[in-house]
Structure 1
Amino acid sequence: MLFDPVLSQWSDLLFEATLVVLLLALVFSTLEYAARRVARLGTGVLTTVGSGSDRPAEEPVDPPSTEQPGTRTRADRYGRIGIALTVLAVGTHIGSIVLRGLAAYRWPLGNMYEFTSAFCLMAVVVWLVLVRNYPGLRSAGAFVLTPIVLLMFLTGTVLYLQAAPVLPALQSYWIIVHVTTITTASGMLLVPGVSSVLFLLTRSDRFAGRLPSADLLDRLAYRVTVLAFPLYTFGIITGAIWAEAAWNRFWGWDPKETVAFVAWVLYAAYLHARATSGWRSTRAAWINVLGFATIVFNLFFINMVVAGLHSYAGF
């Protein structure tokens, strides 16, 4: 079989390193959240900033500290370590994907293992960009990294496939255009999905004041979805063009095509609801969560359980 075993091994090692580093980042992000929560509960401070403002939120307000001026709080130190580890994980993850492609002599998005790996990478990159521009979001890092770490674990165990050339049906330049676009859009949509879940949680007294403001979460979920939706639309269109070239029809209501279209309708409904009076907040957030749940359903259940024309990608 045509592949480079040495590069493939290094790719696998970098993937495993990425998973370990992301797990450590999750631990420190959780410690940051716990430290902020304990400090606020101990002093009665339950205020976060960023609500009602269109500017990037500052760090959540910490309670008065006995530390000397200029020193960082424990929560801030945990958070910065978590972000630094996440940046390191992006570097090792990119290396893993690049070496995977070089090992197999092809574009590294030919099966479920590679698709889900790139999906997680894009989600982490979007998260880091948002935290860079909206520092107040950092306290939600544990909630964003948890599904990513779980997906990475499943990718490296259940979905793992050895590097190898793809089947003839996938040997087309359309794999670069279509699959890359769908992967990018889907990974981007993970962050709005989590943001909408957190937005709904802020309605509960149990979480109120311990997460970024509801206004900030809702605003960012909308803005990232606005960017990802056209990419997702383009991915569906290029998939139809590729289907016509490969199967002599643009659309055949294959299970994966059908669920992808359902997800597209849900996101279109979310964007419409977000701009509609009376649906802007809670109802729109539920539609966004349902849209991302549909993408995850399409990624795992449809690919791994339901037989269809897209089953050749393997898992």
Structure 2
Amino acid sequence: MEIAELSDLLVWAAATALAVAMIAFAVDLGRRTDERVGARTQERAVVGAGPTTSVTADAPVGAEPRRRAAGIAMSTTWLATAMLLAAIVLRGLAAGRAPWANMYEFTMVGSFIALVVFLVLNLRRDVRFLGAFVTGLATLFLVVGLNSFHVAATGVQPALQNYWLVLHVGVAIVATGIFTVSFVMSALQLLRDSRDTGSPFLTRPGFRWLDRTPGPTALESMSFRLNAVGFVLWTFTIIGGAIWAEDAWGRYWGWDPKEVWSFVIWVVYAAYLHARTTRGWSGRRAAWFVVVGYACVLFNFTGVNLIFNGKHSYSGIS
């Protein structure tokens, strides 16, 4: 088996492990919701029974239960992330360059960064409620990458044989991974806010799991911090891309479709940060900004590469 084939096999294995993790995270979220409802029922029964009623020590009201499904999910996510890292390293060895020069590699490394962001956040605070969604997106991205974007591990054209391939594209991938996790937070913020304000659809029993997520304000705060970091990295991406363009093509800016949409992304996130910090925009309006920004990120990666012809078309890079 060749190194490139082993890399692809590891990506498939990582996608499978992430699918298992996604299911385990979903099971954990559902069980915690059921246990919370049961705890509330027990509390009401205790209050209504009078002073003679006692609660056994084996089942204290409101106690945090063992989260076996969450433990399995986290372990599987760490395993999948490690396999992805090995796949990325092997891909680079097989190609003899930095392994992020085309759409398949961008998908693979971007999914890895999103998982790393999620895991690092979990080291600081419990954000396992994001697990089902982050691992679900990573699984989707990897499967689409393997089936639709996969290319052989080969060298790159002369224009890409530059250290800016490592810097410019590498920073863009890190920013995209951060934007992915912040998008999940903002999407959950919109759902939680709609449920809290009495949305007829989201107040159904099937959406009780939203009660186990932080409130809209906490989700917005976490998303804002991630977006601020991602915005700084995306700013460097545009600046680095301009410097590389001048070196490779003799101009800093040429209105190439990829350049235009990268700038559109920058404008959307800049407007979001400005509106939230100086104009007092918060809540749903701020969350929709993030959703629109991430939609632009996805279109820049897929639509621009597949629909438009430009100087970036041969590589599929961002």
TM over 0.5: yes
Is structure 2 residue 145 aligned with structure 1 residue 155? yes
CA contact (8 A) 2:109 2:173 kept: yes
Give 1:14 deviation, angstroms: 1.1
CA contact (8 A) 1:15 1:92 kept: yes
Q: Deviations over 1:211-248 (max 9, x none)?
A: 22222211110111111111110011010011111111
Query: In the alignment, residue 199 of structure 1 is paired with which amino acid?
Result: Q
Which residue of the partner structure matches residue 48 of structure 1?
A: none
Give 1:277 deviation, angstroms: 4.7
Indicate the larger mover: 168-177 or 200-209.
200-209
SS at match of 1:164: coil
- Of 110, 125, 135, the match for 2:116: 125
Give 1:96 deviation, angstroms: 0.2
Give 1:40 deviation, angstroms: 2.6
Query: Could you tell me how far apart the structure 2 residues matched to 1:286 and 1:28 are?
Result: 29
Query: In the alignment, residue 178 of structure 2 is paired with which amino acid?
Result: M
Query: Could you tell me how far apart the structure 1 residues matched to 2:100 and 2:272 are?
Result: 29
CA contact (8 A) 1:19 1:152 kept: yes
SS at match of 1:312: coil
CA contact (8 A) 1:8 1:163 kept: yes
CA contact (8 A) 1:33 1:140 kept: no
Indicate the larger mover: 199-208 or 220-229.
199-208
CA contact (8 A) 2:15 2:138 kept: no
Change (3 A) 1:287 1:72: closer
Which residue of the partner structure matches residue 53 of structure 1?
A: none
Counterpart mapping for 1:110-149 below 5 A: 110-135=101-126, 137-149=127-139
Is structure 2 residue 6 aligned with structure 1 residue 13? no
Which residue of the partner structure matches residue 73 of structure 1?
A: 65
CA contact (8 A) 1:193 1:221 kept: yes
Is structure 2 residue 190 aligned with structure 1 residue 200? yes
Is structure 2 residue 106 aligned with structure 1 residue 96? no
Is structure 2 residue 269 aligned with structure 1 residue 267? yes
Query: Could you tell me how far apart the structure 2 residues matched to 1:121 and 1:310 are?
Result: 23
SS at match of 1:267: helix
CA contact (8 A) 1:139 1:211 kept: yes
Q: Deviations over 1:223-275 (max 9, x none)?
A: 11111111110011010011111111101111111111011011111111221
Give 1:295 deviation, angstroms: 0.3
Query: In the alignment, residue 203 of structure 1 is paired with which amino acid?
Result: D
- Of 186, 209, 214, the match for 1:212: 214
> TM-score with structure 1 length normalisation?
0.87
> TM-score with structure 2 length normalisation?
0.86
Which residue of the partner structure matches residue 276 of structure 1?
A: 278
Query: In the alignment, residue 34 of structure 1 is paired with which amino acid?
Result: G
Q: Which has the larger radius of gyration?
A: 2
- In structure 1, the gaps of 5 or more residues are 46-63
SS at match of 1:310: coil
CA contact (8 A) 2:77 2:135 kept: no
Paired positions, count: 290
User: Pairwise CA RMSD of aligned residues?
Assistant: 2.1
Query: Could you tell me how far apart the structure 2 residues matched to 1:66 and 1:304 are?
Result: 59
Query: In the alignment, residue 283 of structure 1 is paired with which amino acid?
Result: R
CA contact (8 A) 2:216 2:283 kept: no
The 4+ residue runs of structure 1 with deviation greater than 3 A are: 41-45, 64-69
Which residue of the partner structure matches residue 47 of structure 2?
A: none
Query: Could you tell me how far apart the structure 1 residues matched to 2:91 and 2:3 are?
Result: 7
SS at match of 2:212: coil
Change (3 A) 1:23 1:249: same
- In structure 2, the gaps of 5 or more residues are 42-55, 196-202
Which residue of the partner structure matches residue 169 of structure 2?
A: 179
